[in-house]
Amino acid sequence: MLRSTVFGVLAATALIAVSSTSPSDAADMVKKIGAGEGAVDIVAWPGYLERGETDKNFDWVTDFEKKTSCKVNVKTAGTSDEMVALMNEGGFDLVTASGDASLRLISGKRVQPVNVDLIPSWKKVDPRLQKAPWHTVDGVHYGVPYQWGSNVLMYNTNIFKEPPKSWSVVFEETTLPDGKPNKGRVQAFDGPIYIADAAMYLMKHKPELGIKDPYELNEDQYKAALTLLRQQRQIVGRYWHDAFVQIDDFTNEGVVASSSWPFQVNILASQKKPVGSTVPEEGATGWADTTMMHADAPHPNCAYLWLEHSINPKLQGDLAAWFGSVPAVLDACKGNALLTDEGCKTNGLDNFERIHFWRTPVSKCASQGTCVPYYRWVTDYIAVLGGR
């Protein structure tokens, strides 16, 4: 009942945000950075803002606080919908938003345009990300790229001696290499955007559906994706959104395959657990996260100081090493002791073209006439999770 209540609220939030009026324009941008206000409040994905408490080698907060006197306060969020809900509540300065949240925040006027002229390191950002459509509207930037990566297939290497070639091991009921069924031993992501993973799978396995973009689905394509997800519901042992719960599930609960983030893979590998990860033949969905500034940020000066700090090569490299992501600043790929010079390639630098980056589904879509908008993804995925 609690899940239905929470996601019902989020569904309404999603609908309102996507259907709101046009975003603010460049005239609303901050023109000058003043003295820091003493604090900056950030909504972030777990593992994105480390101050050395988990591992003393990974700390990109303490030095910033010493240099700016801006104390960093972090509120972690496990899903994009949670981030949108928190930003709608207000009281925060920044959010590390993925592409399935960023356009909702822009159209809902929850974030403000960012003056990149006040961010000296902007010119160092990967050109592929500078004008990315998930944070740029009508040529106006609404954030600073932070990191990107793919939603990998994580698997138990004791079960899979070779990396699985297809996502079928988590979508279709099958017998795994150890001779036992996958039922109850696989997981799927607990978030409406996961419908895109099903659509991506169908792009290869049911080409007759004509899916060109997993975030742009007509009624028939969308129905096929839901059918696949209802089928998957019969074999999924648990849906995950908390990275640390998934780590425990792979360690103690017999889970052997699931969509995951490189973050979990890296932590489990550091604990000498038998895990590997791969991007199967169908490709992968992924996230390109942008640090966005609340329209009513209480600490705008500290926020701008953090935006600049967030793309310095040392932080970018350390974060990529910690999270298993790819830096938004490619200079970070060389000369970082924690990441190593092979780290960016290991984390998927060469997969950029194979990734379908998270994006908010809207009714007016480019690949075909009319598509199913996000608010329906929310309500229908709740139904899938509930076995309906």
- Sign (positive/negative) of CA torsion 348, 329, 308, 300? negative
- Mean pLDDT confidence for 230-244: 95
How many angstroms separate the CA atoms of 58 and 47, rounded? 10
115 and 14 belong to one structural domain? yes
53 and 158 belong to one structural domain? no
What's the pLDDT at 18? Answer: 44
20 and 139 belong to one structural domain? yes
186 and 250 belong to one structural domain? yes
Q: How many beta carbons lie within 10 A of that of residue 153, not counting itself?
A: 25
What does pLDDT average to over the chain? 92
pTM: 0.84
In a domain, 356, yes or no: no
Q: What is the distance in angstroms between the CA of the first residue and the CA of the last residue of the chain?
A: 14
170 and 134 belong to one structural domain? no
What's the pLDDT at 122? Answer: 97
pLDDT digits (tens, 9 = 90+) for 139-162: 999 999 999 999 999 999 999 999
In a domain, 355, yes or no: no
Q: Is the pLDDT of residue 116 over 60?
A: yes
- Mean pLDDT confidence for 250-270: 94
156 and 137 belong to one structural domain? no
201 and 306 belong to one structural domain? no
158 and 191 belong to one structural domain? yes
204 and 250 belong to one structural domain? yes
109 and 161 belong to one structural domain? no
CATH of the domain at 121: 3.40.190.10
**b/e for 259-288, b at 16 or more Cβ within 10 A?**
bbbbbbbbbbbeeeeebbbbbbebbbbbbb
In a domain, 318, yes or no: yes
- Structural domain of 191: 150-285+361-385
277 and 344 belong to one structural domain? no
pLDDT digits (tens, 9 = 90+) for 334-364: 999 999 999 999 898 998 989 999 999 989 9
Tokens at 272, concatenated: 């000498």
pLDDT digits (tens, 9 = 90+) for 15-54: 434 433 345 566 667 888 999 999 999 999 988 999 999 8
Distances (CA, A) of 310 to 120, 179, 208: 12, 47, 44
Q: How many domains does the chain have?
A: 2
- Mean pLDDT confidence for 52-74: 96
In a domain, 84, yes or no: yes
